[in-house]
Amino acid sequence: MAEATIYEISSKDRKGFRFPACDVPETPLPAGLLRDDLPMPEVSELDVIRHFTNLSHLNYSIDSGYYPLGSCTMKYNPKINEEVARLPGFAFTHPLQPIETVQGNLAMMYELQLWLAEICGMAGVTLQPAAGAQGEYTGVLIIRAYHQSRGDLKRNKILIPDSAHGTNPATSAMSGFEVLGIATDSKGNVDLESLKASLDDTVAGLMLTNPNTLGLFDQNVEEVVRLVHEAGGLVYGDGANLNALLGIVRPGDLGFDIMHFNLHKTFSTPHGGGGPGSGPVGVAKHLVEFLPFPVVGIIEEGDEETPPLYGFVKPEKTIGRMKSFHGQFGMMVRAYNYISMHGPDGLRDIAENAVLNANYLLARLRSTFHVPYDRICMHEFVMEGHLDDAPDVHALDIAKRLMDYDFHPPTNYFPLIVHEALMIEPTETENKQTLDRFADVLIKIADEARKTPELLHSAPHKTPIGRLDEVRAAKELVLCCWLPEKI
């Protein structure tokens, strides 16, 4: 049953919320600067609650089902995180308060910086970037600043593997770099010959996701890093797939110079239907001075009796400010809590079980679907959503049919280098029964593809709405509610 829009349930003069009466003498409002009308809904509080509650019922979510979206790390979002983030001592602090009045916040942020640095083997961390893409942007700006500070002005290229997420090349272009693609070899590793051929003294750096978007750990990662460093470039690690590495290996130990974290992937902060995320960035020692401003630091050392005084510091050669204030603080509280509930053993447990789950699913599915790379995978794997004996059925159809079995589809058509790609990442919080059910359903759908492909082409049938006309959406471009005349 489709839900009406908030405007459609409006009724003239209905009120939803009341404020206390004005307790001060009134000043005249500024003539000539007032708006003529305010076309906003007029609904009661029950209308609002009912409307959005009904909308929520149309959504699939981690709380209601399994979400094997590759490279998104749809793990369970702990409810305790929601509680602690809402503690009044956090929620009601203004970002510009005197530092003496927010030592709790600053101490927590300082420790989170240290913890993230420890987890990935880096020397310094900024918590400011608002999301992974902004973290990447921060990283690429640091690369540019580093070379410029050494007078090395001809490095205008960034190397990016063809399997990379779209944000990597988009970020490089935004920063004024030319993008050079690097091939992936038949084993799913960075093609060393392609890399060597592209490296010269005009290359500023390489953006590498490891494990990559195929879910594979680069078998030559140390050699890749060495080659780039030898050519004078820096190595940026896209940390979207960090879930496979927690407690297993640290990118800093492998030689990475910079990397970003996705708190909303690896560290369980909720996806919220499209954010907020949080994309802290870690850097090696030689890049600490370029971090964005501000970073949390110790202003006055403490001793046995008194804690240190925490405050904001400006790195000497800072690239500047990435966003207002200090970053997505509410997400930092959640991530801090999550890490403290896991400790070093718990973090390693996450990676081990994430990788175990992915390999288990891979083992169960590889005889039904073609997997282009015959290797142990990490926390995710890619298979082809296409069967030779059902040529008209595509990854899209399989994805849509999965919804009829109450599963959210895996990521499809990414990475671009796999034909009809289906990227599956179970995460460590799914149990064996769920994985078995998912594998069984996919095998059943493969069978349907051969016998009754029409079921797939016209899927989904059991969802609140069927396949939507995306061409019409792009052509007719209706981006706002139709306003009922009564408003």
Partner 1 sequence: MNIPSNLKYTNTDEWVSVDGNVATIGVTDHAQEQLSDVVFVEITVSVGDKLAKKATIATVESVKAAADVNLPVSGKVVAVNEDLPQTPELVNTDPYGKAWMIKVEMDNPAELDGLMDAAGYEKHTRE
Partner 2 sequence: MFTPHTDAEREEMLRVIGVRKLDDLFADVPIAKRYPKLDLPPALTEIEARLQMEEFAFGNNTAQERACFLGAGAYYHYTPAAVDAIIRRGEFLTAYTPYQPEVSQGTLQAIFEYQSLIANLTGMDVSNASHYDGATATAEAAVMAYHHFRGKRTRIILSPSLNPQYREVVKTYMGGYEGIELAGENLDPLGNPDDLTALLNDNTALLIVQYPDFFGRIYDFTTVIEKAHQFGALVAVAVNPMAMGLLKTPGAMGADIAVGEGQSLGLPLSFGGPYLGIFATKKEYVRKIAGRLVGETADTEGRRGYVLTLTAREQHIRREKATSNICTNQGLMALAATVYMSLLGKNGLKEVATLCYQKAHYAADQISKLDGYEVLATAPFFHEFVVKCPQSVEETNMHLLANGFLGGYDLGNDYPALSGHMLIAVTEMVSKEDIDDLCEALKEVNNG
478 is a site residue for partner 1 (CB under 8 A) = no
Minimum CB distance to partner 2 smaller for 223 or for 384: 223
Minimum CB distance to partner 2 smaller for 391 or for 413: 413
**Residue 64 Cβ vs partner 2, minimum distance, rounded to whole Å:** 7
Token pair 């396949």 is found at 467
Minimum CB distance to partner 2 smaller for 60 or for 313: 60
**Residue 389 Cβ vs partner 2, minimum distance, rounded to whole Å:** 25
* Binding partner of residue 353 among partner 2, partner 1, none, CB cut-off 5 to 8 Å per kind: partner 2
**Residue 419 Cβ vs partner 1, minimum distance, rounded to whole Å:** 14
Minimum CB distance to partner 2 smaller for 123 or for 483: 483
Kindly state the DSSP code that residue 190 receives in the 8-state scheme.
Answer: B
* Binding partner of residue 348 among partner 2, partner 1, none, CB cut-off 5 to 8 Å per kind: partner 2
Nearest CA to 261 out of 230, 246, 240 is that of 240
* Binding partner of residue 185 among partner 1, partner 2, none, CB cut-off 5 to 8 Å per kind: none
d(CA 129, CA 294): 11
Which residues in the 126-145 window bind partner 1 by CB under 8 A? none
d(CA 90, CA 329): 9
Q: Edge-to-edge, what's the strand order for the sheet holding 421-424? A: 381-384, 421-424, 411-412
Minimum CB distance to partner 1 smaller for 24 or for 474: 474
Work out the angle at residue 168's Cα, subtended by the Cα atoms of residues 221 and 133, and round it to the nearest 5 degrees: 115
CA 481 to chain centre: 29
Could you tell me if 91 and 251 are in contact, meaning their C-beta atoms sit under 8 angstroms apart? no
* Binding partner of residue 391 among partner 1, partner 2, none, CB cut-off 5 to 8 Å per kind: none
Minimum CB distance to partner 1 smaller for 34 or for 477: 477
Q: What are the tokens at 39?
A: 């076309």
Backbone φ and ψ of 193, nearest 5°: -65, -45
Minimum CB distance to partner 1 smaller for 405 or for 413: 413
**Residue 413 Cβ vs partner 1, minimum distance, rounded to whole Å:** 8
Binding-site size, partner 1 (CB under 8 A)? 5
Distances (CA, A) of 63 to 59, 75, 408, 430: 11, 10, 12, 12
* Binding partner of residue 366 among partner 1, partner 2, none, CB cut-off 5 to 8 Å per kind: none
Could you tell me if 67 and 74 are in contact, meaning their C-beta atoms sit under 8 angstroms apart? yes
Which residues in the 223-262 window bind partner 1 by CB under 8 A? none
Minimum CB distance to partner 1 smaller for 180 or for 244: 180
* Binding partner of residue 56 among partner 1, partner 2, none, CB cut-off 5 to 8 Å per kind: partner 2
d(CA 364, CA 354): 16
d(CA 280, CA 354): 22
* Binding partner of residue 330 among partner 1, partner 2, none, CB cut-off 5 to 8 Å per kind: partner 2
Minimum CB distance to partner 2 smaller for 5 or for 368: 5
Which residues in the 447-476 window bind partner 1 by CB under 8 A? 470-471, 473-475
d(CA 244, CA 248): 8
d(CA 234, CA 140): 10
**Secondary structure of 331-388 as H, E, C letters:** HHHHHHHHHHCCHHHHHHHHHHHHHHHHHHHHHHHCCCCCCCCCCCCCCCEEEECCEC
* Binding partner of residue 163 among partner 2, partner 1, none, CB cut-off 5 to 8 Å per kind: none
Pairing mode, strands 234-238 and 258-260: parallel
**Residue 96 Cβ vs partner 2, minimum distance, rounded to whole Å:** 6
479 is a site residue for partner 1 (CB under 8 A) = no
Kindly state the DSSP code that residue 272 receives in the 8-state scheme.
Answer: T
Question: What is the binding site for partner 1 (CB under 8 A)?
Answer: 470-471, 473-475
